[in-house]
Amino acid sequence: MSDKIYLTGDRPTGRLHIGHYVGSLRRRVEIQNTDDYKDFYVFIADAQALTDNMENPEKVRQNVIEVALDYLSVGLDPNKVTIFIQSQIPELTELSFYYMDLVSVSRLQRNPTVKTEISMRGFDSSIPVGFFTYPISQAADITAFKATHVPVGEDQKPMLEQATEIVRRFNHIYGDTLVEPQIILPTNAACLRLPGTDGKAKMSKSLGNCIYLSEDPKDMKKKIMSMYTDPEHLRVEDPGHIEGNTVFTYLDAFCRPEHFEEFWADYKNLDEVKEHYQRGGLGDVKVKKFLNNILQAELEPMRLRRAEFEKDIPAVYEMLRKGTEHAREAAAATLSEVKRAMKINYF
């Protein structure tokens, strides 16, 4: 039997988008269906979301259920995967508190993801301490479940590095207790950090540049048709650029050979489309229409599944309650080991 333990999660700051899908969700469903794992945990990081949404608890609360619906809609199966709500597991907070002793302020300040996210949110020096210590709480989330594999997008790489450092430091001081996690990145380069529809930053719930998995078909088409392409490709006959052209990045992430038979018989594969575009003579509108067809086909089954699950929200909460109960047992067992190792087990 496999001894792999997978863990991954999302912040309930909005509905999930196609960046989440190619960066992490698609992989989760594939792994779930291999049965090559001992445990698979997927969590909704509501406590983490509150660190930069502290004045907006209702938003976070609403999005817990939205994210749960997104999970179910992409095909995560609660019988195979333990889905839980972070804030309902106090053991995670307790672990974070002890890990804080193992990390210096300057190390946190150097964390590239923390740096980027601070500037993205305009925090500067007014950064909430809870947000600043985000890598520490993430290390607690990972280690509480003895996760060996963490499938996430590239932006999480520095987080995993910092979690590994915490594990090593802990084990060095207190004896072998925690397990070093391994990051699982998307293998397709376009999926590492999918850009937003604005073509500038990464697609992110907090930036309003997303195509949501539950996006209405008309709204999605509108977003795609107004997407950023190549500013130098003014007339159809002009040669176009692929590099930094978000429409092509999305095609790299989503397009499969069978899409040509179905939607665009003029070409056999994406390379042919790219060549024509670079040569000149292929207009943006045609390429965007193709992308729209692909994304509509990809998201339609998700929309239908979501609509089914939306009919019974109490059942979704019940699924989360059960998952949380199960996850809490695992976290409590690790916390006991941690306290024993740290010699703070008195009674």
- Which residue lies nearest ligand ATP, judged by its C-beta? 23
Subset of residues 328 to 347 that bind ligand ATP, contact rule: CB under 6 A: none
End-to-end CA distance of the chain: 36
Integer Cα distance of 295 and 245 in angstroms: 17
**Cross-strand bridge partners of residue 149:** 6, 182
- Give 347's contacts (C-beta < 8 A, 6+ positions apart): none
Q: CB-wise, 249 or 292, nearer to ligand ATP?
A: 249
Q: CB-wise, 89 or 191, nearer to ligand ATP?
A: 191
Integer Cα distance of 298 and 10 in angstroms: 21
* Residues 205-244, mask of contacts with ligand ATP (x by CB under 6 A): xx--------------------------------------
Subset of residues 145 to 164 that bind ligand ATP, contact rule: CB under 6 A: 152-153, 155-156
Shortest separation between residue 241's beta carbon and ligand ATP, angstroms: 21
Q: Where are the alpha helices (DSSP H) in 175-263?
A: 217-225, 246-254, 258-263
**50 sits in which H/E element:** helix 46-50
Q: Using CB under 6 A, which of 5, 15, 19, 70 touches ligand ATP?
A: 19
Shortest separation between residue 94's beta carbon and ligand ATP, angstroms: 23
Q: CB-wise, 172 or 200, nearer to ligand ATP?
A: 200
The region of 196-204, 224-232, 262-270, 291-299 touching ligand ATP under the rule CB under 6 A is 196-204
Distances (CA, A) of 184 to 138, 158, 187, 191, 246: 16, 13, 9, 12, 24
Q: CB-wise, 137 or 177, nearer to ligand ATP?
A: 137
**Cross-strand bridge partners of residue 43:** 9, 84
Residue 106 carries which side chain, given as an amino acid letter? S
Strand order from edge to edge, sheet including 149-151: 82-85, 39-44, 5-10, 149-151, 182-184
| 24 is an interface residue for ligand ATP by CB under 6 A | yes
Shortest separation between residue 210's beta carbon and ligand ATP, angstroms: 7
Contact 316, 65 (CB under 8 A): yes
Contact 176, 130 (CB under 8 A): no
CA neighbor of 98 nearest in space, from 346, 279, 340: 340
Q: CB-wise, 153 or 240, nearer to ligand ATP?
A: 153
Say how many residues make up the chain: 347
* Angle at which helices 313-341 and 134-144 cross, to 10°: 90
3-state class of 290 per DSSP? helix
Shortest separation between residue 344's beta carbon and ligand ATP, angstroms: 32
| 194 is an interface residue for ligand ATP by CB under 6 A | yes
Subset of residues 86 to 115 that bind ligand ATP, contact rule: CB under 6 A: none
Q: Using CB under 6 A, which of 185, 203, 247, 327 touches ligand ATP?
A: 203
Q: Using CB under 6 A, which of 6, 13, 99, 242 touches ligand ATP?
A: 13
Q: CB-wise, 116 or 278, nearer to ligand ATP?
A: 116
Q: CB-wise, 203 or 327, nearer to ligand ATP?
A: 203
The region of 9-17, 222-230, 254-262, 317-325 touching ligand ATP under the rule CB under 6 A is 9-17
The region of 84-92, 200-208, 273-281, 321-329 touching ligand ATP under the rule CB under 6 A is 200-208
Shortest separation between residue 184's beta carbon and ligand ATP, angstroms: 10
What are the backbone angles phi and psi of residue 184, rounded to the nearest 5°? -115, 105
Q: CB-wise, 95 or 211, nearer to ligand ATP?
A: 211
CA neighbor of 212 nearest in space, from 307, 70, 316, 71: 70
Task: List residues binding ligand ATP (CB under 6 A).
Answer: 10-11, 13, 19-20, 23-24, 152-153, 155-156, 193-194, 202-206
